[in-house]
């Protein structure tokens, strides 16, 4: 008897996938410690033949499945990842399973990512006799700026490193079932900065007797945008956004200092380094020209998410084998958001894909996007994501990147 179609098999686990997703969604957790989510995942997969590992730095989980099929060539190791943490925001969806944790919501779809990965574990355990080698399921907290993937790597939870790695991210404002990806840079690096302009305050009616940091800070803001457009090529873009300005306490007082904070995004390591250096030179130089001083601190975030061309080709081939109506789309350009799966892709070749989860009859452009308090997901699309993850693992273990 031929093996069951992998999408059909994933749909057979749809009830479990949706139930787990809703349980996680109703009780969101933030940061590196997601113990309730961890326990839900362990309970949902307790009956499967998986070997589990945990580390000291996070509540992240790694489960290992060994295929029982006959080996036809070298044994390979493949990693599938799903993140588990939520965002610090109140939910406004009105769903029956809405968050009951004040100030926390799964508004980036990590509840679906964890549930789809758990679904892939069910599918692959049921198909373990079709492949040899190992599948590593990585349930990772702390994606929302907490470097969870990096901590799990440093804890040795991915050792020995896999030969390939795959991840999936839902897009609630993308057509139902559409899978998208691209080779090369998929998402940007993300760093944050703080510039402190220090002068000498005084009475607002006598600015000539002060060293006013306010106009200097404003000049720095506009100069940053000029720097971006005049010092970096449009073919290798960067984004520098000043998102906070803090200064002053009253209408008639010139403050001693002004503080600027924001984000820096790049699509290459070269530009990432250059942007840090030029931001520092610019801020210090402008302040000095006005007789003030400036300190610049850059706090490194996630690196650029680089997808291996072979892994993207593999994902497209798996998508074609699923036979879904929406199919696969090659993205024409990267997204300037960031993703800490980039840490995994620095260590091993692989790819991340996007899954459209807008309702079939909806206009995706009218749907709320990720990080919205009103973001909703069409759960009927989740088995497609499960099948994609499971299919990528099975295909890689049996054929490599061919």
* Domain containing residue 246: CATH number: 3.30.70.360
Both structure tokens of 317: 């081939």
- List b or e across 303-330, with b for residues whose CB sees 16 or more CB atoms inside 10 angstroms: bbbbbbebbbebbbebbeebebebebbe
My answer on whether 240 and 169 are in the same domain is no
My answer on whether 167 and 202 are in the same domain is no
My answer on whether 256 and 360 are in the same domain is no
126 domain residue, yes or no: yes
My answer on whether 298 and 325 are in the same domain is no
pLDDT at residue number 246:
98
Confidence of residue 72 (pLDDT cuts 50, 70, 90): confident
- Which tens digits make up the pLDDT trace of 42-57? 999 999 999 999 999 9
Q: What is the mean pLDDT of residues 241-262?
A: 97
pLDDT over 60 (residue 2): no
pLDDT at residue number 4:
75
Q: What is the mean pLDDT of residues 170-179?
A: 97
My answer on whether 20 and 156 are in the same domain is yes
Q: What is the mean pLDDT of the chain?
A: 97
My answer on whether 36 and 131 are in the same domain is yes
101 domain residue, yes or no: yes
- DSSP for 349-379 reads -EEEEEEE-S-TTS-GGGS--TT-TT----G
pLDDT at residue number 398:
95
pLDDT at residue number 334:
96
Count how many Cα atoms sit within 13 Å of the Cα of residue 221 in the half-sphere of its side chain: 17
pLDDT over 90 for what percent of the chain? 98
pLDDT over 50 (residue 1): no
Q: How far apart are CA 81 and CA 168, in angstroms?
A: 8
My answer on whether 57 and 157 are in the same domain is yes
Confidence of residue 402 (pLDDT cuts 50, 70, 90): confident
My answer on whether 180 and 44 are in the same domain is yes
- Going by DSSP bridges, is the β-strand pair 164-171/202-203 parallel, antiparallel, or unpaired? unpaired
pLDDT at residue number 248:
96
Structural domain that includes position 379: 6-187+304-399
Query: Residue 261 forms beta bridges with which residues?
Result: 194, 244
Query: DSSP character for 88?
Result: S
Q: What is the mean pLDDT of residues 369-392?
A: 97
Q: Quick one: CA dihedral 60, 17, 98, 378, positive or negative?
A: positive
Domain count, the chain: 2
pLDDT at residue number 73:
82
Q: What is the mean pLDDT of residues 232-237?
A: 94
Both structure tokens of 367: 């749907």
Beta strands in 173-277 (DSSP E): 179-181, 184-187, 189-198, 202-203, 238-247, 253-254, 257-266
CATH of the domain at 23: 3.40.630.10
Domain end (from 252, 281, 302)? 302
Domain end (from 254, 280, 302)? 302
Q: pTM of the predicted model, to two decimals?
A: 0.94
264 domain residue, yes or no: yes
My answer on whether 86 and 216 are in the same domain is no
Domain end (from 274, 302, 330)? 302
10 domain residue, yes or no: yes
pLDDT over 70 (residue 3): no
Q: What is the mean pLDDT of residues 216-225?
A: 98
241 domain residue, yes or no: yes
Residue 36: count other Cβ atoms within 10 Å of its Cβ. Answer: 16
- Which tens digits make up the pLDDT trace of 14-51? 999 999 999 999 999 999 999 999 999 999 999 999 99
Helix, strand or coil, per DSSP, at residue 309: helix
My answer on whether 144 and 11 are in the same domain is yes
Q: Quick one: CA dihedral 376, 380, 385, 386, positive or negative?
A: positive
1 domain residue, yes or no: no
pLDDT over 80 (residue 117): yes
My answer on whether 72 and 127 are in the same domain is yes
pLDDT at residue number 71:
83
- Cβ 117 vs Cβ 167: under 8 Å: no
My answer on whether 116 and 39 are in the same domain is yes
Confidence of residue 164 (pLDDT cuts 50, 70, 90): very high
């Amino acid at each position: 008897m031929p093996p069951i179609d992998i999408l059909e098999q994933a749909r057979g686990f749809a009830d479990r996938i949706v139930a787990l997703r809703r349980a996680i969604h109703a009780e969101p957790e933030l940061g590196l410690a997601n113990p309730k989510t961890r326990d839900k995942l362990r309970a949902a997969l307790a009956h499967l033949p998986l070997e589990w590992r945990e580390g000291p730095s996070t509540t992240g989980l790694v489960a290992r499945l060994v295929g029982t099929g006959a080996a036809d060539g070298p044994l390979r190791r493949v990693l599938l990842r799903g993140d588990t943490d939520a965002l610090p925001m109140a939910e406004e969806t009105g769903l029956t399973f809405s968050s009951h944790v004040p100030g926390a919501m799964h508004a980036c779809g990590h509840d679906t990512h964890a549930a789809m990965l758990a679904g892939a574990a069910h599918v692959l355990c049921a198909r373990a006799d079709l492949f040899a080698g190992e599948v590593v399921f990585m349930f990772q907290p702390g994606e929302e700026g907490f470097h969870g993937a990096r901590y799990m790597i440093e804890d040795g939870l991915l050792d020995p490193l896999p030969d390939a790695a795959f991840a999936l991210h839902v897009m609630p404002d993308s057509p139902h079932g559409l899978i998208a990806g691209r080779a090369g840079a998929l998402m940007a690096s993300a760093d944050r900065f703080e510039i402190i302009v220090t002068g000498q305050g005084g009475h607002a009616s006598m600015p000539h007797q002060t060293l006013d940091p306010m106009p200097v800070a404003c000049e720095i803001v506009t100069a940053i945008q000029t720097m971006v457009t005049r010092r970096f090529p449009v073919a290798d873009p960067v984004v520098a956004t000043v998102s906070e300005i803090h200064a002053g306490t009253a209408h008639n007082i010139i403050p001693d200092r002004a503080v600027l904070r924001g984000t820096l995004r790049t699509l290459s390591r070269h530009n990432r380094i250059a942007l840090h250096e030029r931001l520092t030179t610019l801020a210090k130089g402008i302040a000095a020209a006005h007789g003030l001083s400036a300190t610049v601190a850059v706090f490194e975030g996630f690196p650029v998410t680089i997808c291996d061309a072979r892994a993207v080709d593999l994902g497209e081939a798996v998508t074609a084998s699923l036979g879904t109506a929406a199919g696969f789309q090659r993205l024409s350009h990267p997204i300037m958001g960031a993703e800490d799966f980039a840490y995994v892709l620095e260590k091993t070749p692989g790819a991340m894909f996007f899954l459209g989860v807008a309702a079939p009859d909806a206009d995706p452009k009218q749907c709320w996007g990720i990080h919205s308090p009103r973001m909703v997901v069409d759960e009927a699309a989740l088995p497609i994501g499960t099948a994609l993850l499971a299919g990528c693992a099975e295909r890689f273990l049996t054929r490599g990147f061919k």
